[in-house]
Every structure is written in structure tokens, then in C-alpha cells.
Structure 1
Amino acid sequence: AIGVVTTAPITDATPAATYAHTPFRGWQSDIDMPAQAVAQGCIDIARQLVEGEATPEVVLGAGLAYLKPEADGGRRKDGRDLVEAWRRRGGASTVVSDLPELTASTTPRLMGLFSNGALPADADRAPDSATPRLPDMTAAAIRALSQNPEGYLLVVEGAQIDSYHHANDPRRALAAVAEFSQAVDAARRLTDPADTLIIVTADHSHSLVLTAGSDRKAPLLGLAGADGAPNKALDDAPYPTLIYGTGPSPTRPQAVARADGSSDADALRSVAVPLSSAGHAGEDVPVYADGPQAYLVRGVIEPTYVFQLIRRALSL
């Protein structure tokens, strides 16, 4: 069985790579397809989610608009309702719309797309929100997929770690990291390391750095400093504890720390080189593994080696 879980639209690049083939990641719905591509038989990513050879049994995340027709508030011009098409494709299928329905589901085939675009930032989530978090979706996916006696492959993406770093938003990005960590914890609680291989990695890093010279009392999302006083650059201006290499923020923070040392985190974003969107960084990213054959994850490895590990674990 195959499952895909993400906080981004289910047709975004990482989840789509689980089930779709396309020369361009932007072809998420038929409205995004150029006429030449359609004439040559190319199919948008959302249709491949339902009609492709590797249709997932579990689909949880966002991007409902890419699967719904314009008449229902979606982005599809062809009139297809791909949610209903997915439901009809297999037996014992359930489509859920909120956290209570997700938690109550017991079927092996499960779809839940909880917003038209990306899911709301976990940092801004209301305590009584009915929108599932990444740990909730991960747990529900494992409950559904584990009903298959032949095993399963589950891809879980904390997509907003990347999207908020692109916006130079460390408060929301770091909250998304914590949310992803909780999803990993959920996966470990619900599986047995004797028969389940869990791999955690990333496709790239970002240019966020922790500046030197601050003591432990300095606010992580505020101005750098020690002994209650902000650090100063050579031009006598304060600077934040966290700084991005590139991105849409100004080159100087726009707020001064309050007397109690706190500050407006969203106003303290700072970059070395201003760009419309932060660029990725180039250093190696970590890869962790637990479970059968996890010992094969060691040293410096190529990205395609991770695929070979998954393939070996599934005996493909």
C-alpha cells in the first residue's frame, strides 16, 4: 500500500513524486497545462493521483482545489471531481474533512484534503482548530496502511519548513520543524522497529544561521545580545540572533528590542542579500534511519542511495 501525507497541496513536488510523472512540477491541475502539452497527451498531476498506476491508498494534506471543478470552487476546467473519482476507484474508501472524522476513520483507503491551498501554519493554529496537524495525519495514515498484510510505503512531508524559510520567517519555520518532529514520534510509537524502517532526511537546507556572541538569555527570535544588552555591528546597529543569507527581508531589522528583552519576531527578519524569495543553501543535509537495515545509513551518501534503501526494504 502507498500513503502520502503533507502540509502542502498533495500535488506539490515532493508528494507528487510518489505517484506521478511530469516534466514540470507546476502542472498540478488541468488549468496549469499548456495546450501543447495537452495535445501531446500529458496529464496533470492531480489526474495522475487518481488515474495513475501508483494511486495511493492514503492521501492526506491540502490542495483540495486542484481536484475539484470550478463549479465547486476548485481549479479544474475539465469539470472532473477527482475526489469522487478516487472514492469510486477502490472499495472501503473514506473521504474525511476534519480532525474528528480523520480520527474516527477505520478504512484502509483514506483521503483528506483539509484546505484549498497549503495548511495553516502550526505556529498560528488555534487550540480548538478542527484542521489536523502533521502528527494527526501521520498516525491516521499508519492506522490505515497497516491493514495491508503486504506492508506499505508512507511518505510524510513537513512542507512548510521550506516555504516559511523562503519567506525569511523563522518563527513559523521552526514551529514547523517541531511539528515534523512530533510526526516522527507518532510514527515511531505506532510501528515496530523490528519490521518497519523509518528514514528521515531533507532535499536541501536553507541559509538560516545562528549568530555568535549571544548568551543563553538572548531571545532566539529577537536581537542578539549578552547581559541584557543588544549586540552592535560595526555601524553601531543591533542585529538579530537569527539571520538569513538571502531572502525578501530587509538587510537591517525593523524593530528594537523592548526593555524586557522581547521583540516582535516577525519584524526582526534580516538578510545579507535581499531577494524576492530565499535561496536554498548548499551543504550536505542529514539522513537518519531506524529499523531493519538502518545500519546501511552511515557516512556521506548520495540522494539516490536513499531510494535504493527503500527499494531493498520493500524487497522490490
Structure 2
Amino acid sequence: MIRKSIAAALACALSTATLAAEKLPESQRDSHWFNEAQASLQQAAEVEINNKRGAAKNVILFVGDGMGISTVTAARILAGQQQGLDGEEYQLSFEKMPFAGLIKTYNTNQQTPDSAGTATAMVTGVKTKAGFIGVGESVARGDCKASLEHPLTTALELAETRGKGTGIISTARITHATPASTYAKVPERDWEYSAPAGCRDIAAQLVEMNVGDGIDVIMGGGRRGFLPTSVTDLEGAAGKREDGRNLVSEWQKRYGENAVYIEDKSGFDKVNIKSTDKLLGLFQPSHMRYEADRDNDKAGEPSLSEMTAKGIELLKRGKEGYFLLVEGGRIDHGHHAGNAYNALHDAVEFAKAVQVAMDNTDAKDTLIIVTADHSHTFTIAGYPTRGNPILGKVIGNDERGEPRKTPDLASDGKPYTTVGYANGQGFADLGRETDSDNRRDTHTHPGRADISEVNTRNPGFFQEALVPTSGETHGGEDVGIWARGPGSQLLSGTHEQNYIFHVMAHAGGLLERK
């Protein structure tokens, strides 16, 4: 009754708005901006809300590692420009979802967070310290013994106990912070293939997982953490395990003949979903390739969107539904390197993976959440004209509001790019000298490179940075969150990061007794 009343009120309001619009100037009524906004309002008013506990049979959590708001904006523009548009008006797949909000990302001991603590918050409902995976904040980092007394149960583990299918997909190592947060419990994220006596490393915990019947779909990088140093993989890289264990063999032995292990694109393409009960794909010794460089991989590897499609195809066979985490892990790495080209191209591919999930699921029974674990110091600045290449130099408008023919120049007489970083290896020593009154510094700018003849849209270009650091760092501001499906409206507004778990648990009925 209440929902019908709200719908009637909205219909009345829209009708009134239409009548009022008839009195507006023709230049306003005929504007495509005006009419497109009216259409968007109508579409938003028609969105159905399902707040019933347990209404989501399936839950998919997409995490764009390091995909802050500025990254989303720049990726949106890049994706649009790749299709011949100006770019600013474009929308990435997840931006079309009906509900959106903001997420606060700090760790319990850091204002600007790391991925281990943030991922743990998302999948356990509890904020914790930087570097912690699946462990509460009350212990010291690296304290093996104490960590065993403070484990945290994850959404994936809860899904396993309810007989649901489960999966983790990432372009980073599958033992890296975000994917590992779904199954591992360590007070030090670096224990990927070795750990102090009394604790198990992350890779071992994955293979030895004793909750439910184990994870059904595992795809990403990180092969080296599963192989002993005596074994060389198909790409010529040696394993990292010094305990002599071959965890790939152990995994295959545990799950039997219907468990499929793959290492390359050829093996990926040959997977028979109907006869595969468990799938383990480790496509690189370390992280998978950047999307823009993927075709150069020696053995070949699938894209994030291809892995997402395959993962959903396998998981949707289960009658009880599934929980799936998909990470675009290398967005973060592109930023850390100060290379916006790779970061943004990986973000565009991440959006394609979300579209695959949207196309292959039903919004009536599948909750899809898209967010980031943290931001970066990535900025969009200057006053570039509309449609200016997002990776290009700033070209502004003249006094008539029309695009100039040449790039704008900074106060040092040199051009600069639209996107850049607040810190990182792209720092140029500006140099300083004191004025005659010895009262202030004046910049002489001897160190900033002249990029007049440089193609800043080239894959190998690294943007300039303000502060010199060994690598560009995370940013501490809020990140966006977008959602579709049962319970998605609960993510509107600004929330703590651990709140995401509680929405997934509510919508998916993960905390209810079976």
C-alpha cells in the first residue's frame, strides 16, 4: 500500500512537472540536456525496491582496486572517447545502476588505508588494521599466535555454509590482499607463500579451506605461490615455496577428476563447464598483465570480462545460488607506477566485466555491488576544452569559448597534462631560490621536463607528480559505490566500508539459519 502511494505521488509530481515545463522558454524545452534529464527522472521513479531479507539468491561484489572517483571520471571519458564521443557524457556500465553512494575507507590505524584492511572490512563487516586479512584489530601486526585467537568469518565462508557456490576472480595474484580476504586469516598480508611456525600461509589456506566444500571458481595470477622452488612453470618461472609443497597437485588430488586446473588462454577456452565441478586458473607467476598489454603474454591469458563470464556460467548451475568476488586488481598497480594509461584502460575493462555480469544475471534475484577499496592521489586538473583527450595535454578555450590550437602553458612556459599525481616517481625537482628580502621561496622550475614534443597518450608515458615518493600512494577520500538488485537501495548515502558486508548478508540471507 505504501509503495503504491509513493508511486502515485511520483506520477503526480512528474505530471505537474510536465505541465510546468510547457511554460518554459523554447530554448529550455528544446534542450537535449533538459529532455534527457526528464527521461532519467522518469526512469528513476520507476525503479522497484526489494528490501526483503534473503531476496538475493546471488551476490556479486566487484572491487576496482584503487578506483577512486577521479579514476571513474577519467575512465568514463576514456571509454567514451574510444567510441568516438567527447567522453564526458558517457556512462560506464555500473554508473547506470539505480543506486549509488559513498564509502569511507580508513583502516582502524590509518587515515589513508591499505587494501588488506579495506577488503577485510567489506567481506567480514568489521574494520581492522592495515595489513590484516581476516583478523580483528586487537592484535599486533605480524603476531602469528595472537591472530589465531581473533579470526573473522567472511561472506564467502557464510555462503559456503549455506550450500551456495562461491568464486574469486582477480587480475592480481589470487593470494593478494583483496581476493585473499575472502578465505584467509593472517596478521600480515605478505605471508602469501610462507608464514611463521604455527601459522599457515595464504596459498596453503586456500587449498586447505575446510568450510563447505571449498571454493568453486578461482581465477587470477599468483602461480608462483602454489609451486615449490624446484618446479618451473610453462612460462619459465620458478615457484616460490621453500617448503617443497606443490599446492596445485594437492588441489587436484583433493577435488578429483572433475576439478580442472588451467594456466593459459588455450586451457581457459577449452574448459567444459558441464563437466567441471571446480576450476582453478593461475595465469601468471605473479600478477596478470595489464589489459592494454594482455596480448603480449607469452602463454596467453583471458581478460577480466572473459573470466567473469566463465565464472558466472559455472556458478549459476547451482540451485542454491552463489557468492562471487571480482577484482580489477591492476587499476591500483597502474596508479602506483604513476602510469594513468594502464590504470584507466584496466578500469575500462573492469566496467566491461560488470556489464557481463549485468547481462548474465537477473536484477530480481542477484545483488551486484560495484565499489573500490580505496582511492589514489590521481587528479584531473587544468581547464581543458570539452572532449580533450583525457590522457593528453591541456588545451583550453579562447576568449570566445572556442578550443585553442595549441596546449596551455604553465607558469614555467611548458605544457602540462590533464591528469597527474600528487606524489610518485614522476616528481621533477623544481629547485628553489630565496628572493632579495629572504622572505619567501620562488620556483625556478629547472627540473620539469618540456613535454611539447612528447606523446602523453602513449602507453609508456608516466604523468608528472608533485611530491617525490618511491611509488605513488593511496588516497584517503571516500570512494563510490553502485548497486543493482535486491537490497541495493540500502547502499544509498555515505557509509562505513564494513557496512557493505551487512547489506550483502541481509540481501543474501547469509546470517539466517538454513
Instruction: Decide: shared fold, TM above 0.5.
Output: yes
Equivalent position of 1:201 in the other structure: 371
TM-aligned CA distance change 1:71 to 1:268, over 3 Å: closer
- Give the aligned partner of residue 86 of structure 1: 251
Identify which of 422, 425, 438 aligns with 1:245.
Answer: 422
Q: Secondary structure at the match of 2:366?
A: coil
Q: Which has the larger radius of gyration?
A: 2
**In structure 2, distance between residues paired with 1:304 and 1:264:** 39
Q: Which amino acid aligns with 1:100?
A: S
Give runs of aligned pairs for residues 153-164 of structure 1, distance below 5 A.
153-164=323-334
- How has the CA–CA distance of structure 1 residues 254 and 234 changed in structure 2, closer, same or farther, with 3 Å as cutoff? closer
Q: Secondary structure at the match of 1:71?
A: coil
The alpha-carbon distance between structure 1 residues 233 and 255, as it changes in their structure 2 partners (threshold 3 A), is: closer
Matched, 1:281 2:447: no
Task: Give the equivalent residue in structure 1 for 2:15.
Answer: none
Partner secondary structure for residue 197 of structure 1: strand
Say whether the 8 Å CA contact 2:340–2:462 is kept in structure 1.
no
Give SS of 2:495's match.
coil
3-state SS of 2:295 partner: coil
Partners of 2:457 and 2:240 in 1: CA distance:
40
Instruction: Describe the superposition over 1:153-204 as per-residue Cα deviations: whole angstroms up to 9, x where unpaired.
Output: 1000000011110111000000000110011011111111111110000111
Q: Which residue of 1 aligns with 2:219?
A: 60
* 1:179 pairs with 2:349: yes
What residue is the counterpart of 1:124 in the other structure? Answer: 293
The residue aligned with 1:71 is 230
Name which of 471, 495, 498 aligns with 1:301: 495
* Preserved contact between residue 9 and residue 62 of structure 1 (Cα < 8 Å): yes
Instruction: Classify the secondary structure of the residue corresponding to 1:200.
Output: strand
1:240 and 1:268 in contact (8 A); partners too: no
Deviates more, 1:134-143 or 1:120-129: 120-129
1:71 shift after superposition? 1.1
Q: Which of 187, 191, 202 is equivalent to 1:23?
A: 187
* Structure 1 vs Structure 2 CA RMSD: 2.0
Is contact 2:415–2:450 with CA below 8 Å preserved after alignment?
Answer: no
**Corresponding residue for 1:5?**
169
Asked if 1:103 is matched to 2:262, the reply is no
Q: 1:253 to 1:137 in 2, by over 3 A?
A: farther
> Are the counterparts in 1 of residues 393 and 407 from structure 2 also a CA contact under 8 Å?
yes
Alignment of 1:145-160 (within 5 A): 145-160=315-330
Instruction: Give the conservation status (yes or no) of the 8 Å contact 1:103–1:140.
Output: no
Q: Is the 8 A contact 2:415 2:452 kept in 1?
A: no
Counterpart of 2:121 in structure 1 is: none
8 Å Cα contact 2:339/2:461 also seen in 1: no
CA distance in 1, matches of 2:225, 2:462: 35
Which amino acid counterpart does residue 316 of structure 2 have in structure 1? S
Which has the higher mean CA deviation after the structures are superposed, 17-26 or 52-61? 52-61
CA distance in 2, matches of 1:176, 1:225: 25
* Counterpart secondary structure, 1:47: helix
| TM-score normalised by the chain length of structure 1 | 0.91
Equivalent-residue separation in structure 2 for 1:94 and 1:263 (angstroms) = 40
For the 8 Å contact 1:222–1:265, the answer to whether it is kept is no
Of residues 98-107 and 150-159 in structure 1, the stretch that sits farther from structure 2 once superposed is 98-107
CA distance in 2, matches of 1:276, 1:190: 42
1-side partners of 2:387 and 2:203: how far apart?
Answer: 48
- In structure 1, runs of 5+ residues without a counterpart are none
Distance, in Å, in 2 between the alignment partners of 1:245 and 1:87 is: 46
Decide whether the 8 Å contact of 1:108 with 1:148 is kept in 2.
no
Relative contact order (alpha carbons < 8 A, sep ≥ 6): 1 or 2 greater? 2
Q: 1:203 to 1:90 in 2, by over 3 A?
A: same
- Displacement, 1:257? 3.3
CA distance, structure 1, for counterparts of residue 184 and residue 469 of structure 2: 31
1:262, distance to aligned residue in structure 2 (A): 6.6
Percent identical across equivalent pairs? 38
Q: Distance in 2 between matches of 1:230 and 1:253?
A: 16
Gapped regions of structure 2 (runs ≥ 5): 1-164, 232-237, 397-403, 429-446
Q: Give the total of aligned pairs.
A: 308
**Structure 1 residue 255: Cα displacement:** 5.0
Match of 2:486 among 288, 292, 297: 292
The structural deviation recorded for 1:113 is 0.4
CA positional deviation for 1:264: 4.4
1:221-236 to 2 correspondences below 5 Å: 221-226=391-396, 227-236=404-413
Of 184, 207, 211, 1:50 maps to 207
What is the CA distance between 1:314 and its match in structure 2?
2.6
Equivalent pair of 2:339/2:462 in contact (CA under 8 Å): no
| Partner amino acid, structure 2, of 1:235 | D
Structure 2 length normalisation: TM-score?
Answer: 0.57
Question: How far, CA to CA, are the matches of 2:171 and 2:450 in structure 1?
Answer: 31
Report the Cα distance in structure 2 between the residues aligned to 1:262 and 1:223, rounded to whole angstroms. 7
**Conserved 8 A contact 2:379-2:420:** yes
Deviation of 1:224 after TM superposition, in Å, equals 1.3
